Structure 1
Amino acid sequence: MTPARRLIPSLSALRALEALDRLGSASAVAEEMALTQSAISRQLQGLEEQLGVTLIRRDRKRLSLTSTAADYVVEVRAALNQIAQASIQLRVQPTGGSLNLAILPTFGMRWLVPRLPEFTHLHPDITVNLSTQLRPFSFDVEPFDAAIHFGQPDWRGTEALLLKTERVVPVAAPGLIAAVPDDPADLLKLPLLHIQTRPNAWQDWFARVGVSVSPPLPGMIYDQFSTITQAALHGLGVALMPEYLVEQELATGRLLPVHDHSVEANGAYYLVWPKTSSEDPVLRQFRDWLAQKAQPEDDLPR
């Protein structure tokens, strides 16, 4: 056995360390792992002895991680996630490939999912697993092969494929506005609704239409377009919405455009992936197929 092999701890001990960092108490770790607190304590002590490093602070029977252990557990968690994901893939589809994709909920459901049947027909041996993520994350820690991202193609350590640009328009319920304001600056007199993932959206819109504003702009904040749409429909304020998401509401008059200025959003939708995975065959097949769907003439489904 090589010296490096002798330093590989047991999986159970690593799970206990990771769980202690995540849950904060030995009792919670014991419950999650279906072991006694004494067994958890012995595993952690054995891990310290094997590595020759103090990992646990013991204060009146309360266990917590040292700063050294906190750094170590970041790497441990990434490794455990990778093992778990590999096991899931093997169980679900042992003979084929899979792609774990993080998506933005609204765009993923409205743009990607309607197109996925074509990919699965062309590549029946590949499973595409979808999970909602609202913000950028570390591919080193999270078990994703790629992600759909809105913004600029500046996600650190990644490469990107442009999927779609976007135009946004301010909308509100008819009961909120008596008439469409002549001056876009008049919108500042109305309650503005904000989307959490785009904190500067209103500021960018006002700049595009020639209105100077001083941030931050007040107003309610929502985490998803589905909730901000409902808020606008119920008259809570003016929402700055992608045109394709409110087409039906505008057509039926449930929402009105508060101003004629529809502008291109400061950002676009991208598929991003780690540079280190660029030549992965499953990712490459998905990326090549998606590039065909990302042409300007390929309109968003209604």
Structure 2
Amino acid sequence: MRIRSPSLHELHAFAATARLGSFSKAAELLCVTQGAVSRAVARLEEHLGQSLLVRQARGNELTPAGRDYLELIEPALQTLEAAAVAQRAPEATTRLRISVAPTLATKWLIPRLPDWQALHPHIALSLAPYRRDEDFSDATVDAWLRPGESQWPAGITADYIVGREIVPICHPQELRGRQALREPAELLGRPLLYHSNYPDNWRLWLAAAGVRDANPKPSADFEQVAMLVQAVMAGLGVAVVQRCLIDDELAGGRIAIPFDRPVQLERGYMLCTRKSSQTQRALRSLRQWLLAQG
């Protein structure tokens, strides 16, 4: 029988590129070179006789045929991965201790941990206390998932995971009736709630939304995003928060995004590890998984 299906290498290269939007990120996830991923996708397109990706300077986008093909192959790839995990010889349990910013832990990481446990049943994750003034000297901690930009101490490697995108949020009632919000500038007429550590977020978002020369004044400030979201739900005002931290509240209709104009910040949540630990298999697995989740 003639085998018509492409190689698994090509399928994984395409699926990773489709999910992450770029050959370089897919290469990091698959632990191969960017050129290897690009060539594998090109071979797959030649094999199928049609384009699956639109190559652009800022990343790759799926063609309609690419979206259809990804939908068809993803369940099969997941089944193969699950079978490989199920049939592997038993391994000794490895424990990784990670420090995670509290709101990110409760709103983003913990809901995803069942997926981690299914993929890596022999690598247990435990959460270490979070320190805002972290100096990375605690030898009992293997990795840190914390906010930051590009400057890190010597000996620390940082990978961006998630959290650079901010959006405004309001109580759903703010979108109803004669006084409903209709233009971004109208937000200045509402009580503006601030994150005490990032007071410039409102100015940045308003400027990007076209509200020039705005001088937003805080009505109240809060130390954590979770507190900001609770304050908005209570009707105390409007806030600007990271999009990745509000999925549950949006899905439940407890908050709303009045103007879906996300703004990208320089900072985000970064996975920080010691350069001397990069060869540890468990840490490599954690890094690859977090990059895919992000």
Per the normalisation by structure 1, the TM-score is 0.55
CA contact (8 A) 2:108 2:245 kept: no
CA contact (8 A) 2:163 2:268 kept: yes
Instruction: Select the residue among 156, 165, 168 that pairs with 2:166.
Output: 168
Alignment partner of 2:161: what SS?
strand
**1:87-131, Cα deviation, whole Å (9 max, x unpaired):** xxxxxxxx8643221101222233333443454456555442203
CA distance in 1, matches of 2:232, 2:147: 22
- Specify the alignment match of 1:153 in structure 2: 150
CA contact (8 A) 2:100 2:128 kept: yes
Q: Name the aligned partner's letter for residue 169 of structure 2.
A: V
Alignment partner of 1:206: what SS?
helix
Alignment partner of 1:148: what SS?
strand
C-alpha displacement of 1:171: 1.5
Alignment partner of 2:126: what SS?
strand
The number of residues matched between the two structures is 199
**1:262-301, Cα deviation, whole Å (9 max, x unpaired):** 223442222112334434x2xx423334314423xx47xx
- Specify the alignment match of 1:180 in structure 2: 181
Correspondence 1:246 to 2:246: yes
Q: Are the structure 2 counterparts of residues 165 and 176 from structure 1 closer, same or farther at C-alpha, using a change threshold of 3 Å?
A: closer
Alignment partner of 2:218: what SS?
coil
Alignment partner of 1:257: what SS?
coil
Instruction: Select the residue among 137, 140, 149 that pairs with 1:140.
Output: 137
Correspondence 1:228 to 2:225: no
Stretch moving more, 255-264 or 185-194: 255-264
Q: Are the structure 2 counterparts of residues 293 and 137 from structure 1 closer, same or farther at C-alpha, using a change threshold of 3 Å?
A: closer
Alignment partner of 2:137: what SS?
coil
- Specify the alignment match of 1:273 in structure 2: 273
CA distance in 2, matches of 1:128, 1:246: 23
CA contact (8 A) 1:171 1:258 kept: yes
Question: What CA RMSD, in Å, does the superposition of the two structures yield over aligned residues?
Answer: 3.1
Instruction: Select the residue among 100, 104, 108 that pairs with 2:105.
Output: 108
Correspondence 1:291 to 2:288: yes
Work out the percentage of aligned pairs sharing the same amino acid: 31
Q: Are the structure 2 counterparts of residues 142 and 293 from structure 1 closer, same or farther at C-alpha, using a change threshold of 3 Å?
A: closer
CA distance in 2, matches of 1:175, 1:224: 23
CA distance in 1, matches of 2:256, 2:216: 25
CA distance in 2, matches of 1:291, 1:190: 42
CA distance in 2, matches of 1:117, 1:256: 28
CA contact (8 A) 1:101 1:130 kept: yes
- Specify the alignment match of 1:203 in structure 2: 203
C-alpha displacement of 1:147: 0.5
Consecutive unaligned residues of structure 1, counting only runs of 5 or more, are: 1-94
C-alpha displacement of 1:200: 2.3
**1:138-188, Cα deviation, whole Å (9 max, x unpaired):** 012574221102231322221012222543221212445621232x23322
Q: Name the aligned partner's letter for residue 191 of structure 1.
A: P
Alignment partner of 1:144: what SS?
coil
Consecutive unaligned residues of structure 2, counting only runs of 5 or more, are: 1-91
CA distance in 2, matches of 1:256, 1:96: 42
Q: Name the aligned partner's letter for residue 139 of structure 1.
A: F
- Specify the alignment match of 2:61 in structure 1: none
CA contact (8 A) 1:169 1:243 kept: yes
CA contact (8 A) 2:232 2:239 kept: yes
